[in-house]
Amino acid sequence: MATYKAPIDDMRFILHDVFDAESVWSSMPGTAEMSQDLADAVLEEAGKVAEGIMFPLNRSGDEEGCQFDDGVVTTPTGFKEAFNALAEGGWTAFSGNPEFGGQGMPKSLAVLFEEMMHSANCSLALYPLLSNGACLAIDAHATEELKQTYLPKIYSGEWSGTMCLTEPHSGTDLGILKTKAEPLADGSYEITGTKIFITGGEHDLTENIIHLVLARLPGAPQGPKGISLFIVPKFLVNEDGSLGERNGAVCGSIEHKMGIKGSATCVMNFDNAKGWLVGEENNGLACMFTMMNYERVSIGLQGLGLGETSYQSAVEYALDRTQGRAATGAQNPDQAADPIIVHGDVRRMLMTMRALNQGGRALAAYLGLQLDIAKFSEDAEARAQAEDRVALLTPVAKAFFTDRGLDTTILGQQVFGGHGYIREWGMEQMVRDVRIAQIYEGTNGIQALDLAGRKVARNKGASMAALIAEIREWLGTEKGKLGDLSEQLEEALVLAETATANLLEQAQEDPNAINALAVEYLDIVGYVLYAWLWARMIAAVDGRDDEFANSKRITAAFYYERLLPKIHSLYAQFKAGSKNIMALAADQF
């Protein structure tokens, strides 16, 4: 059976010892009340919520799935009660705006809580996490009246939120969407069209569902510059805040999926539904990106969270399952065989999982702190730098976390051998559940294009150069604590610089270059970032001789010796450019 215990000790270590988060929080009015003791208490309670409320429903939710009957969607048994418990505890409003009932927790804490939620039950986690993203978009772009109408109810968990982008013919290319918005005399709009793949588009967890819908106004410019964003509630809201008549937003069906079966993925039909404009006309895509960027980080954490549960389950199995003898001789001479954790190949798999999970957790916390600075800092220069760092790293976090998440869950399944392929052990569910994370919220190929094209080539590598300069500045002050790792990290930084220069050069000469090179480039950046963060973890345990510190040193050495060298083969692929990729004519495939 799968097992999960929230890795609170590692989360505390990363927040406090690696990043000294309290010093960042105390420097900004919006987070000044968050202390180390309070953060630790929040993490403890969050762990209890994930382990005690969410995780027990993970397998049963997968087996039962969501049910559809004539427009009505029923979530798996126990989901509604669990969602209500999350709402009553304030967990559905974790980092929300306190002005409208949110808890106002720093994002650097929220990323750790979201990892726990995805570890415990990613299907259930998606409902509040989509709502949180909707709240961000409404809070950033809607009128005060719309904020007052919708935000308190979503934060309280009485209502929930969705984002409705994709249409049957329009996925990545949102500029060709066809959903229409017609202005009405009372200032509202009539929304007509069909959206697909809508997470939480219909369910029985809340009394109202607030859809954020992209649509096109009459006479709007063609392409992405002619898209507007609208709030479209399932039930109209009366002036006193009570629910009115049913709106023309109806679920036509739900998808039958490979994984995340407890999450309702809906076809939504908007038939003359009433909606209200969010932000300015024809600026809807920019407004929606407020939500999409939040969700991309969150979905990255889905990969990280499931990787952690797979790792914990694999370790427990490897300690218990007996097969064969250790190469150095019997470790359990009184038994017929030794536990499989004595075997080098099993150790290789477990160490790979451990190194990737802990490196990812450090990157998540770093990104969370940058989000906090971008939101709360009173220093304009610090805010601008943090915003630039967030823009650069969001596609890396989404793609690298989820690609490595699939790698990790497959390794966990492999540790179990044949049992990993059998449903009752729980490992195959994690592989199925994590697979979607590479696809939705922008496929990982799209994330790589975003990084290589928009975030690097567009500003001639300035953002990447600034990040590498930050790493070098840190390395200059801490290298004495790192031993040989400091030279290896510097070599990795040089390769990242070389790859960036090569990307810019090829992009100037070849229109296909960015499409051809982007995935390898993102992976190089991801592995180099993990190397830096493992170096930071080693520096943080300098002078310590306890079990925790020694395990960090061993895992860091494994990462540098066995995983970081992948950047060299990636760069060899990267240098090949687009020539062979584009050489075949379409009809030759």
Q: What digits encode the pLDDT tens for the residues 108-165?
A: 999 999 999 999 999 999 999 999 999 999 999 999 999 999 999 999 999 999 999 9
Which residues lie below 8 Å from residue 84, measured CB to CB, with a gap of 6+?
A: 157
Q: Three-class SS of residue 464?
A: helix
Q: Where are the beta strands (DSSP E) in 216-280?
A: 228-233, 235-237, 243-246, 249-254, 265-278
The answer, yes or no, to whether residue 84 has pLDDT greater than 90, is: yes
CB under 8 Å, gap of 24 or more: what pairs does 166-170 form?
Answer: 166/195, 166/196, 166/197, 166/198, 167/193, 167/194, 167/195, 167/196, 168/194, 168/196
pLDDT in the model for residue 43: 98
Percent of the chain at pLDDT exceeding 90: 95
pLDDT in the model for residue 170: 80
pLDDT in the model for residue 123: 98
CA-CA distance, 271 to 553, in Å (whole number)? 59
246 near 234, Cβ under 8 Å?
yes
Average pLDDT across the chain, whole number: 96
Any idea which residue has 């976090």 for tokens? Answer: 397
CATH of domain 144-151+159-285: 2.40.110.20
Least confident interval from 40-49, 289-298, 367-376: 289-298
* pLDDT tens by residue, 336-378: 999 999 999 999 999 999 999 999 999 999 999 999 999 999 9
What are residue 338's phi and psi, to 5 degrees? -95, 155
Residue 343 tokens read as 């075997």
CA distances to 118, 121, 369, 370 from 365, rounded to whole Å, are 16, 21, 6, 9
Q: How confident is the model at residue 220 (pLDDT cuts 50, 70, 90)?
A: very high
Residue 534 tokens read as 């493992």
Q: Do domains 8-141 and 144-151+159-285 have the same CATH topology?
A: no
Fold of the domain built from segment(s) 8-141: Butyryl-Coa Dehydrogenase, subunit A; domain 1 (1.10.540)
Residue 546 tokens read as 């306890």
The answer, yes or no, to whether residue 299 has pLDDT greater than 80, is: yes
Q: Three-class SS of residue 584?
A: coil
Among the listed residues 45, 441, 478, 520, the single catalytic one is 441
pLDDT in the model for residue 1: 81
Cα angle at 444 between 575 and 455, to 5 degrees? Answer: 65
Kindly state the helix (H) or strand (E) to which residue 344 belongs, with its residue range.
helix 344-376
Residue 568 tokens read as 């060299």
Average pLDDT over residues 561-579: 96
What count of Cα atoms within 13 Å lies in the side-chain half-sphere of residue 219?
A: 2
pLDDT in the model for residue 268: 98
Q: Three-class SS of residue 482?
A: coil
Which residues lie below 8 Å from residue 502, measured CB to CB, with a gap of 6+?
A: 574, 575
195 near 268, Cβ under 8 Å?
yes
pLDDT in the model for residue 292: 81
The answer, yes or no, to whether residue 288 has pLDDT greater than 90, is: no
Residue 518 tokens read as 């982007």
pLDDT in the model for residue 42: 98
Q: How confident is the model at residue 175 (pLDDT cuts 50, 70, 90)?
A: confident
pLDDT in the model for residue 160: 98
CA distances to 64, 164, 186, 214, 348 from 183, rounded to whole Å, are 42, 19, 8, 14, 61
Q: Where are the beta strands (DSSP E) in 226-353?
A: 228-233, 235-237, 243-246, 249-254, 265-278
118 near 401, Cβ under 8 Å?
no
The answer, yes or no, to whether residue 173 has pLDDT greater than 80, is: no
Average pLDDT over residues 307-323: 97
Average pLDDT over residues 325-343: 94
253 near 194, Cβ under 8 Å?
no
Q: How confident is the model at residue 422 (pLDDT cuts 50, 70, 90)?
A: very high
Q: From 459, 471, 467, 455, select the one nearest 399 (Cα to Cα).
A: 455
Q: Active-site residue 22, yes or no?
A: no
pLDDT in the model for residue 325: 96
Q: What is the pTM of this model?
A: 0.96
The answer, yes or no, to whether residue 174 has pLDDT greater than 80, is: no
CA distances to 178, 196, 288, 296, 529 from 213, rounded to whole Å, are 12, 11, 9, 18, 36
Q: How confident is the model at residue 291 (pLDDT cuts 50, 70, 90)?
A: confident
CA-CA distance, 62 to 436, in Å (whole number)? 14
Q: Three-class SS of residue 89?
A: coil
Q: How confident is the model at residue 538 (pLDDT cuts 50, 70, 90)?
A: very high
Residue extents of the structural domains in the chain:
8-141, 144-151+159-285, 459-582
* pLDDT tens by residue, 461-497: 999 999 999 999 999 999 999 999 999 999 999 999 9
123 near 261, Cβ under 8 Å?
yes
Percent of the chain at pLDDT exceeding 70: 100
CA-CA distance, 398 to 390, in Å (whole number)? 12
Average pLDDT over residues 421-449: 97
pLDDT in the model for residue 27: 96
